[in-house]
Structure 1
């Protein structure tokens, strides 16, 4: 995208931090990826995930067996769905994942063939051959309330009958005063890992003006151009594009943003 920053030099022996806005309890993979590159991770969870296990959700997921396409929008959606239905029962060739992380979960739960894009975002998913000729088909979107509106809108616009199946929900978590104090005291350099626009927009209202200003001047690694554009609209100026949303991709982009000489 236009306006991406060139990496700024930071001495190679500098201690640096990566701020993770993953859901509560889901920071470990990013923490491990960052640690391999010499970073310490600061966990800042905007919400926790709660899986739905009620009979209505189970029945909705069961109905996905009759759908022509079953689209999973995240690894969490795949994990939650697997608690409601053996995923190997879905129609062969019908399963679509937003990215490789989601595809791995689906394969682990018995789905032999998964359509997944190399560009791991909504636009990449919608560009898949399996998502082109949808007129007259039944498409299940396995997801959570909020987010991924682009996928739902395009599925309907392409003539499919859309069935939305919310298999988990995000329960907001307040940002504590202790966390704010820690973030205010965090020495630079640090990098924000951005893989969810909704997560960023949930966290920002909790930040006092001084901290918001610090964040807007810090490097941001975005998992997609769409997220980078959102960050720019929210006043962030040091934008860097990761190869995708996987933990290793985000951590590598963050390291490259600070230490270009090591690349």
Structure 2
């Protein structure tokens, strides 16, 4: 494996859901990083008939918003997503749009700024008076998408196609972190996962973590990390694994030269 000579061995900490660290590992490996998974939650897809019926109705709305790749994958387990649809289908980010296209969906739009604010700036969501909108998502989150769609006049249907199940931090991984040499970089793309980590991380590890790098997927998450006592925080170009890994590598490289 070719690694930049000036970059030491370093560790990228992943808060992705259980079993979903592979993409970040693939992105980080060429940059000399080990990825240590600290999953504070698992994603559980809904499979009941009531959710399936609600989704079938939602897919016929004038505007259909998918909040994450996980929402796409859970929806696809309930119904095919490759049928023609009458409205505009919108994704919070390019990862969600790619998941929809992989399921055969066409005409999907995603914002360049891959977050809720970027999504809500898309032209199809500017004026919703008299239109029916659907949000395919999970319980939790900030609620800014649902509230804004309603504020703009949409009749909103929310379909929770999966849920986030909090988990105890894996003890084996926590012990690995204790032994892991620095530098560490925490990849931060979810405020909820971040909160679960801070609630559970043992007291001996929290000060060490706060002294390390954080790369955040949005300005909102940069601010949140700062509020939680992290001072070495940088902004990634977005939430995709390659974007987080590139920002983490840049943070480590800059730290070595400083």
Same fold at TM > 0.5: yes
User: Which residue does the alignment assign to 2:58?
Assistant: 64
Per-residue deviation, 1:13: 4.3
Q: Which residue among 203, 208, 219 is the counterpart of 1:214? A: 208
What secondary structure does 2:43 align onto? strand
TM-score, structure 2 length as denominator?
A: 0.94
- Whole-Å separation in 2 of the counterparts to 1:241 and 1:160: 33
- C-alpha distance in 2, partners of 1:162/1:237? 40
Shift of 1:237: 1.0
Contact 1:70–1:94, Cα closer than 8 Å, also in 2: yes
Q: Which sections of structure 2, spanning at least 5 residues, go unmatched?
A: none
Deviation at 1:130, TM superposition (A): 1.2
Query: Which residue is equivalent to 2:120?
Result: 126
Residue-by-residue CA offset, 1:167-204 (whole Å, 9 max, x unaligned) = 01111110143332222222110100001110010111
Equivalent residue in structure 1 for 2:21, among 24, 27, 31: 27
Query: Equivalent residue for 1:136?
Result: 130
Partners of 2:94 and 2:189 lie apart in 1 by 14
Say yes or no: does 1:75 pair with 2:31.
no
Count of matched residue pairs? 253
Give the direction of change, closer, same or farther, for the CA distance of 1:30–1:176 in structure 2 (3 Å limit).
closer
CA contact (8 A) 2:185 2:248 kept: yes
Q: Are 1:179 and 2:177 matched, yes or no?
A: no
Distance across 2 between alignment mates of 1:32 and 1:152: 34
Q: Which moved more, 1:119-128 or 1:85-94?
A: 85-94
Instruction: Give the structure-1-normalised TM-score.
Output: 0.92
How far apart are the structure 1 equivalents of 2:50 and 2:84? Answer: 18
Query: Quick check: 1:54 aligned with 2:48?
Result: yes
For residue 99 of structure 1, the aligned residue among 85, 93, 96 is: 93
Q: Distance in 2 between matches of 1:99 and 1:65?
A: 19
Does 2:32 correspond to 1:41?
Answer: no
Separation in 1, partners of 2:170, 2:82: 42
